[in-house]
Chain A
Amino acid sequence: AQSVTQPDIHITVSEGASLELRCNYSYGATPYLFWYVQSPGQGLQLLLKYFSGDTLVQGIKGFEAEFKRSQSSFNLRKPSVHWSDAAEYFCAVGAVTNAGKSTFGDGTTLTVKP
């Protein structure tokens, strides 16, 4: 069975500081991996995805993530956080052969200090 762990429930960073959100997954084959952002009252927005190829993936809003198979990780990074990045972030793993349904982590809430 596939699963996702986001070890940090809540992270606070200062505006302009760098950010790394951790994600560990469990999946029996090559996973499809995603990061989504959810602002209050909004649906999930896809930040970036990894299917294959280059293990460093660039996304929207200046985010990037690195797939490390040996560590079963897909951590999200941003070099300089903006106040508007405050939101909840979800990592998800998808199965190619299983209706494309995704398994999500429980999320990390990001607070940005001025």
Chain B
Amino acid sequence: GAGVSQSPRYKVAKRGQDVALRCDPISGHVSLFWYQQALGQGPEFLTYFQNEAQLDKSGLPSDRFFAERPEGSVSTLKIQRTQQEDSAVYLCASSLAERTVSYEQYFGPGTRLTVT
């Protein structure tokens, strides 16, 4: 079946604009994760959903970042009033298992956000 998909693949935003990044996880996957990957670094955890519940948002860098997964499938990461330091690749991953079970995450190709 289809893997994790993300859209758009590339986004250029002027500083101060709001952006919305979409993630379509693998059908039936319970868990969904968002990561931020700055240039030359590994992914850093942003937030975690189990179905529609956002159980961990400890990695969100500021209150300008907001994520939702209202029906337990598609998720949207929204960044308000973008800043240059928000420029990064945003990765989404999904997993069949709940958080306390041995799991494997499947990653999407990411959205590269450039803030000018």
Interface residue range, chain B: 20 to 34
Contacts of A105 in B (CB 8 A): 42
A-B pairs with beta carbons under 8 A, tally: 64
Interface size on A, residues (CB 8 A): 26
Say yes or no: is A75 at the interface (Cβ < 8 Å to chain B).
no
Whether B109 contacts A104 by the Cβ 8 Å rule is no
Q: A28 vs B100: C-alpha distance in the bound complex, in angstroms?
A: 17
Contact A90 B109 (CB under 8 A): no
The majority secondary structure among interface residues of chain B is loop
Interfacial chain A residues near B106, Cβ < 8 Å: 46
Please, which residue of chain B has its CB at the minimum distance from the CB of A51?
B102
Write out the residue numbers on chain B whose beta carbons fall within 8 Å of the beta carbon of A45.
Answer: 107
Which of B33, B43, B97, B100 is most buried by chain A, counting CB atoms within 10 A of its CB?
B43
In the complex, are the beta carbons of B109 and A99 less than 8 A apart?
no
Chain B positions near chain A (C-beta within 8 angstroms)? 3-4, 31, 33, 35, 40-45, 48, 50, 55-56, 59, 91, 93, 95, 97, 99-100, 102-110
